[in-house]
Structure 1
Amino acid sequence: MSKAMIPDNKPKILTLKEGETYAWCACGRSKNQPWCDGSHQGTSFTPTVFMMKEEKEVALCMCKQTKTPPYCDGSHKDVELE
């Protein structure tokens, strides 16, 4: 598996809406971070698709190294921007 690109070394804080389905970019190549725009085509990556059960403010991983995708787990503290 190839390594994900690192678009940022801090999470993106967003309020996501109840009942909405989201596709989080796992490869780091999307021009629409943190959302997938299909840039992973031809790689081993696939987006993490999830639905919000309630409206909530979340911290989405932008370093793409999280162990809890799509949510930030603090992994960005150990990565450097490329």
Structure 2
Amino acid sequence: MPKPIIAQKSPCALEVEAGQIYFWCACGKSKRQPYCDGSHTASGFNPLRVAEAKTKTVYLCACKQTSTPPYCDGSHTKL
């Protein structure tokens, strides 16, 4: 499997709404980071569905190296 593109070397802090569904870009190609815009087509990557039970701030990975996708685990500090 190919490696994802590093979109940025810091997480994206986002306010997500309870019950709303979001799709996190796993390939790094999306122009709407950290959300998927369909750029992954034929790349071997698929977006991940994000749905939170409560409205809150989340930190989504933008370096695409996290071991806890779609959430940041600090991997960007090692790049």
TM-score class normalised by the smaller sequence: over 0.9
Deviations 1:8-36 (A, max 9, x none): 00001111000000100000000000000
Deviations 1:35-67 (A, max 9, x none): 000000011100011211100111110000001
Tell me which residue corresponds to 1:39: 39
Report the number of matched residues: 79
Work out whether 1:77 is the aligned partner of 2:77.
yes
Query: What is the TM-score with the length of structure 1 in the denominator?
Result: 0.93
Which amino acid is the alignment partner of residue 37 of structure 2?
D
Give runs of aligned pairs for residues 1-82 of structure 1, distance below 5 A: 1-79=1-79
- Counterparts of 2:24 and 2:52, CA distance in 1: 12
1:69 Cα deviation after fit? 0.7
Alignment identity in percent?
Answer: 51
Superposition RMSD in Å:
0.6
* Structure 2, unpaired ranges of 5+: none
1:29 partner SS: coil
